[in-house]
Amino acid sequence: MILSGRAIARSVRRGDIVIEPFDNGQLTTNSYDFRLGTELRLYESRTLDARRENSTRVIEIPADGMKLAAGMLYLGHTAETMGSRRYVPIIKGKSSIARLGLFIHVTADLIDIGSINQWTLQLVPTVEVLVYPGMLIGQVTFWEIRGRSAMYAGKYQGSKGPVGSLIHLDQLHE
């Protein structure tokens, strides 16, 4: 069952959902609109290797915006620290952002229960698009879980800013 905007606000007040900072003006009927953080992480190679750590560099998004090139992958982050130990968050791009041709996540819309951090966004523009720090870019919904669940304690827990892939930590090395 999805939480309504009012239920999200109540759950934040009770501490069942973490959204910091929280702004009532970002609540919608059944979601919370989140903002783009201040940094982007870019891979330094066009070929990425799942068995190795891929080098990256971090760029600060200027206040007057940054143009993202079509077809490139940029790792951004939510301005808010978010998560829940009671509900499962799912993130989506705002429809207004999708209408600009910007994907804000490639396939990773399901956030593990107990994952509380700034979430890394996988930004992929289909056309050149300008983005700005603090702009409303996506929305998060919260879903009730049925049955017992273990809390997330993985490699991305507590992340701040955009984090590159850590899949190489999961791979068997020969």
Tokens of 16: 């069942």
How many CA atoms lie less than 13 Å away from 55 in the CB half-sphere? Answer: 2
**CATH code for the domain in which residue 39 is found:** 2.70.40.10
Number of domains observed in the structure of the chain: 1
Q: Is residue 105 part of a domain?
A: yes
pLDDT at residue 174 in the model: 47
pLDDT, tens only, 80-112: 999 999 999 999 999 999 999 999 988 788 899
Domain that holds residue 127: 5-46+53-164
Q: Is residue 133 part of a domain?
A: yes
Q: Is residue 28 part of a domain?
A: yes
Task: Compute the average pLDDT of residues 125-129.
Answer: 97
DSSP helix/strand/coil, 35: strand
pLDDT greater than 90 at residue 154: no
Q: Is residue 173 part of a domain?
A: no
pLDDT at residue 70 in the model: 96
Under 8 Å between Cβ of 72 and 125: yes
pLDDT, tens only, 49-88: 988 999 999 999 999 999 999 999 999 999 999 999 999 9
Q: Is residue 174 part of a domain?
A: no
Please state the pTM of the whole predicted model.
Answer: 0.88
Q: Is residue 172 part of a domain?
A: no
Q: Is residue 120 part of a domain?
A: yes
- Tokens 């209408």, residue? 99
pLDDT greater than 70 at residue 157: yes
Q: Is residue 158 part of a domain?
A: yes
pLDDT confidence of 148, banded at 50, 70, 90? confident
